Structure 1
């Protein structure tokens, strides 16, 4: 009888195996590089590998969610090994980790019918939706002028500027997400998880009032994912978001990227409309789910 073994990721080889499962299950999404994955190692995060007779067949992730009071759980199993109880075993371990963190709500996501059916079987219910929109680069990207008085730099050019933006800019940007529960992102997670490379920052008198970034796919270098695009409320309606987004797309074009995709909350009609106006096409819908840890 096949033997299932679930172990915690410890070595670089473990983390690379974890990456490869995600790449196979989600080939259309950017997967963090090995360095990025190791950089995110914290006591709150659990990365698991599932092996059958020594062969990696799935993985799992559990960590504190950016949504207040929640813990994210992500069990994934390679297609050829599904419906054998592996996902269930992973989910049990991940749920226990969230319970050990003292968090009352499990958070999960699904962007295909199989994943959605699995989640429903374990009591998860839909709470939010996200829309994926994709921009295909076929030539020079048109540009729009920045509002008067705005200086645009990258966070990489000004070390410390992104971290310093948390109180005045970051908290406001995070509070505007169209989700069922407010985000609760610490300064440390803002600095580590929300900074794209490059991240274009719009400055007014040296203070961040807008941002737009890109995360290049380390495994498919002609693809990238949009990072956070946000504008401080007192600067909205002046064309700053358009300028920053086009600036990021132009950088992509100049660096050999031909596809940029972004995920936007279904309730954020303004950003989805802006993306559509710039030429993004809707390509996929993701369902966000939740249930009590004790459910």
Structure 2
């Protein structure tokens, strides 16, 4: 018999993670500790089982997009088209509409998932583009004279400052359907990778740009680009490319063979920069929305 229950233990979250890795194997999966750290009082995380056999998972919470919630039903491929996704989504929707939001978002990475969302009243409102870079011999760029580059491992005191002077501008300027927000606590947990792989360009004692890598511990050969942002008054000076080249050199030096990044469809400048650095588009993710 199919059962839907709330995830509670570390073992439960390990199963949720297992579903994620099976459904979207091309993305880094947060660790159980990271998943727990991201929970809020409004978070709902579900496990779906059939006579004790893992079938799928689901989650619902406030979105980082202002005024919206986000739902994520996931079903293992061999159990699809049996009504499982619809049942999970019904639980998630019932929770999402209690969060005081005007819209509910969902993200789909293939045509079949998008069609499922459309059948349940969601419409496409945006797309995210995944770009991938194969890592070979990656020389470090020549040192610039106008900024000093430090890692967060070297200057952990600058990470909170980076939230104030870089993160806030990045969130305001992202080419999304509505403004997004991340709290300082989220910045300290979800937006940082290995501090030794997070690079800050500093001028006058203050960060003016950020780039880095977030390792995939399940696939050590692969890493995701962390947030790349340049302070508004420093844009157009090549600092983003400079830091990203440093990150690529770090990837090569640490045995990483693939780096990938997600960029908003509306952020043509960043996509062009990535293409200039040798990234190629692999797929698109569809942002779907339904009014409450």
TM-score for the superposition, normalised by structure 1:
0.94
Q: Which runs of 4+ in 1 moved over 6 A?
A: none
Q: SS of 2:82's equivalent?
A: coil
Give the corresponding residue for 2:242.
243
**Cα distance in structure 1, aligned partners of 2:241 and 2:88:** 42
Q: Supply the distance in 1 between the matched residues of 2:250 and 2:35 (Cα, whole angstroms).
A: 25
Distance 1:157 1:47 in 2: 36
Show the counterpart of 2:198: 199
Of 16, 19, 25, the match for 2:17 = 19
Gaps of 5+ in 2: none
Matched, 1:169 2:156: no
1:62 to 60, 63, 71: 60
Gaps of 5+ in 1: none
Aligned alpha-carbon RMSD (Å) = 1.4
CA distance in 2, matches of 1:153, 1:284: 33
Kept in 1: contact 2:198–2:211 (CA 8 A): yes
The corresponding residue for 2:155 is: 158
Deviation at 1:45, TM superposition (A): 1.9
What corresponds to 1:285 in structure 2?
Answer: 284
- 1:75, distance to aligned residue in structure 2 (A): 0.2
Question: After alignment, is 35-44 or 89-98 more displaced?
Answer: 35-44
Among 30, 33, 39, the residue aligned to 2:31: 33
In the TM superposition, residue 126 of structure 1 has moved relative to its aligned partner by 1.0
Distance in 1, matches of 2:255 and 2:32, equals 22
Contact 1:147 1:240 in 2 (8 A): no
Q: CA offset at residue 11 of structure 1?
A: 0.8
Instruction: Tell me if structure 2 keeps the 8 A contact 1:146–1:240.
Output: no
Q: Secondary structure at the match of 2:45?
A: strand
**Partner residue of 2:94?**
96
For these two proteins, the number of residue pairs brought into alignment is 290
Equivalent residue, structure 1, for 2:114 = 116
The alpha-carbon deviation at position 284 of structure 1 amounts to: 0.6
Residue-by-residue CA offset, 1:234-282 (whole Å, 9 max, x unaligned): 1112110011111111111111110000010111111000100111111
